[in-house]
Structure 1
Amino acid sequence: MFELTENDIHLSSQAVNKDQAIEMVAQALIQSGYVEPGYLAGMLEREAQITTYLGNGIAIPHGSVTTRALVKKTGVTIFQFPQGVAWDKENLAYLVIGLAADSDGHLALLRQLAHLLHDTETIKHLITTQDVSAFYTRLMGKNAPNPSDLISLDLDTTSLLTLTARNAEKLQQCQAVNNEFVRDVLASPALPLGQGIWLTDATLGNQKNACAFSRAKNAFLHHGKVVQAVLTIATIDDNIHRVLIRLLDDNVQQQLLTGSKEDIALLLDPDADLTHATAQSGRLNEHIEPIEAIFTLRNPQGLHARPAAVLVSHLKKYNASIAVQNLETNSQLISAKSLLKVIALSAQQGHRLRFVATGEEAQQALQCVRELIDNNLGET
């Protein structure tokens, strides 16, 4: 394991190009005692093989297999480049996170990055803040819950207000809303979405995008209408609208009424690639029934950045929602089209990976996964 400290965070940095940024990161890793001199060569070698740009302004340069022996202990160093550094033809990196790993101790940070990668408010804060303590707290997500923690199932209640209050409490605990939101949402009427699912929100006190979901043990009536579950949303931008569009589909509503916490968390993730809506209808693809398969990872070094990138790049070609779960660690289902989330699965050789695909090309996507894993994801 490793302990990220504020000394590992470097704000207001400047670099003329990607190579200089990587050199700065490597030098910081050396000075902090994480690696031996020479690690820079491995970082540049890795970058030449495949870009370490993850998306949303984040890059994670790290060494190659040939320089792993130069790692003295697992460590991370983070550079903030407010002006951005050209990382490839189209992308600017604002946060460059150098990794040196002699084990899997850094994966906790990768899991946290997976959570933050699509949180535009947090990324904007990390790019612009000049307060190291605030940067550290926001990055490590001291108040960021597991998405499943915002989901409550089998509640013994016959009150729509109770379900809403439970959601508001969960949202407040993760600082997605404040007291104004709680007062407003409890005083505002709920909107029936269909099949016993109701939507509540508030115009005041929204602090970040989040969804909380509560489901009663048994359906009950509210002013003559069936209530089974309540979804409460906090929203600061249009990103949450993807979830609302998704919830218009009868099949998705049914999954909310019957699914597990992990299944529901995926449905409520605005960045989960579950929809194939047309511009005209905004409906989900009619091929909603999921198919799944389990494969055993063969790669000696596990699903590290390079094979993960191969997997993600292939799956992005398919018109299908594809989720993956590490059965050995009982992880949540995450999007198999997100590089950072796939890396954070911590999949090692021999681990069983469960893939769940939905959509027009779901079958082809799983066949592609089979072929990729049979061929060690391009590694010898």
Structure 2
Amino acid sequence: MLELTTQDILLGKHASSKEEAIKHIATDLVSKGLVAEGYERGMLAREQQNSTFLGNGIAIPHGTTDTRDLVKQTGVQIHHFANGVDWGDGNTAFLAIGIAATSDEHLGILKQLTHVLSSEGVEDALKKAESAEQVLAVLKGENQQPLLFDESCVTLHFPVSELTSMSAVCAGKLKNANAVNNAFVADLVAKAPTHIGQGLWVTSSAMGVNQTALALVTVEREFYQDGHPVKGLLTVAGKGAEYVEALNNVTHLLANNTLGEVFNASAADAVKLLLEVRQSGLSATFKIKNAHGLHARPGALLVSVAKKFDSQIWVTNVTAEGKQVNAKSLMKVIALGVKQGHELEFVAEGADAEQALDAIGAAISNGLGEG
């Protein structure tokens, strides 16, 4: 698997445009012996087809399929722009990762990058980086912590008849996990939780949070507060935005009147229900034919097709037994790590769901822009 190293990173780069930046990167790819002369043409052509800006100050310029024969060896050349480069559409790149790939070895890098593209503070950290080691640490997410929510954060069938004690239980769980400190505990227990439906109450605090986390407590026996049933309390310790997807899953369970499954589940299943809810709707499964899987270009085309429709669309890499993700998010689609021959299950819900699945199937059949 291709791994990023400090040897791939060059600091102190300047460019007046993304075209100039790409030309400099192409020159270094040639000097490094990764590609032959002429690869620059493919990189510029690729940029004209679709922007290679991914987000959080990161762009991944690379060649087209018709210049892949110019690749001598799979590798990368990373340029750091402390002053940034205008990458179009109001986007500024502080890091451009020039990719030369003979097959799908680079998918691992793209998958790795998706974990930092949606995290807070990444762009600012890249902008301020003063060494290759600091840049690499950002790209590897060494200073980022994922959402904490596992079985240790769940308390089932707790014998209680008032919400304050439930808040205290959740706060204690998160404090024991070092996700929060005493300031969080004090702020949380002083707040009144909110009923969001079907017996689930929610409370949150951003004070004294070391790591974004969730905690869940369910009651031994249902009771009522302010005329609403109390079956469980979900607590949010909000340092970043990593918890948003879990709350979106809660909304889906509420809409489908299936939130009761969480209260009757084991701790492990409750976590899974909140983090990996399976969306329902019309479904279809297609096999990816692209020789190098869903790298940036075919991935972007697939996402652009999905975005043409009003329906909500999700996709699962059935072959890799991955979780269901938003098919309109390039970051999440790339993170599926789709290779040639992998089967993807699409689920669409909405007035134009059938048309959306037909269009996606046609696009995949036609090679997603790669013939």
Q: Same fold (TM over 0.5)?
A: yes
In 1, are the aligned partners of 2:171 and 2:185 still within 8 Å (CA)?
A: no
Name the structure 2 match of 1:305.
296
Normalising by structure 1, we get a TM-score of: 0.76
Helix, strand or coil at the partner of 1:293: strand
Helix, strand or coil at the partner of 2:205: coil
Identify the range of structure 1 (218-227 vs 15-24) with the bigger mean alpha-carbon deviation. Answer: 218-227
Distance 1:220 1:132 in 2: 56
In 1, are the aligned partners of 2:12 and 2:80 still within 8 Å (CA)?
A: yes
Distance 1:263 1:101 in 2: 38
Answer yes or no: is 1:328 the counterpart of 2:319: yes
Unpaired runs of 5+ residues, structure 2, are: 160-165, 263-268
Q: In the TM superposition, what is the alpha-carbon distance from 1:15 to its structure 2 partner?
A: 0.5
Distance 2:28 2:260 in 1: 47
Name the structure 1 match of 2:181.
179
* Root-mean-square deviation (Å): 3.7
Q: Equivalent residues in 2 for 1:74-85 (5 A)?
A: 74-85=74-85
Normalising by structure 2, we get a TM-score of: 0.78
Name the structure 2 match of 1:198.
201
Q: Equivalent residues in 2 for 1:44-123 (5 A)?
A: 44-123=44-123
Helix, strand or coil at the partner of 1:120: coil
Q: Give the one of 226, 232, 241 matched to 1:228.
A: 232
Computing the radius of gyration from Cα coordinates, the structure with the larger value is: 2
Q: Equivalent residues in 2 for 1:1-380 (5 A)?
A: 1-142=1-142, 144=144, 150-152=149-151, 156-158=156-158, 160=166, 161-167=168-174, 172=178, 177-180=179-182, 183-184=185-186, 187-189=189-191, 191=193, 192-206=195-209, 210-212=212-214, 214=216, 220-221=221-222, 226-228=230-232, 230-235=234-239, 250-251=254-255, 254=258, 257-258=261-262, 264-265=274-275, 290-380=281-371
Q: In the TM superposition, what is the alpha-carbon distance from 1:365 to its structure 2 partner?
A: 1.9
Name the structure 2 match of 1:282.
none
Name the structure 1 match of 2:162.
none
Helix, strand or coil at the partner of 2:125: helix
Name the structure 1 match of 2:265.
none
Unpaired runs of 5+ residues, structure 1, are: 268-273, 275-287
Q: In the TM superposition, what is the alpha-carbon distance from 1:201 to its structure 2 partner?
A: 2.2
The count of residues paired between Structure 1 and Structure 2 equals 352
In 1, are the aligned partners of 2:316 and 2:325 still within 8 Å (CA)?
A: yes
Identify the range of structure 1 (89-98 vs 240-249) with the bigger mean alpha-carbon deviation. Answer: 240-249
Deviations 1:144-197 (A, max 9, x none): 5666x6344985552644445445566x5xxxx553565446644561433232
Change (3 A) 1:56 1:241: same
Deviations 1:306-361 (A, max 9, x none): 22222111211222221211111112222211223323322223211011223343
The one-letter code of the counterpart of 1:227 is K
In 2, are the aligned partners of 1:220 and 1:228 still within 8 Å (CA)?
A: no
Change (3 A) 1:325 1:376: same
Q: In the TM superposition, what is the alpha-carbon distance from 1:111 to its structure 2 partner?
A: 1.9
Change (3 A) 1:366 1:211: farther
Helix, strand or coil at the partner of 1:123: helix
Deviations 1:3-37 (A, max 9, x none): 32223233443201112111222234344454444
The one-letter code of the counterpart of 2:181 is N
Change (3 A) 1:236 1:264: closer
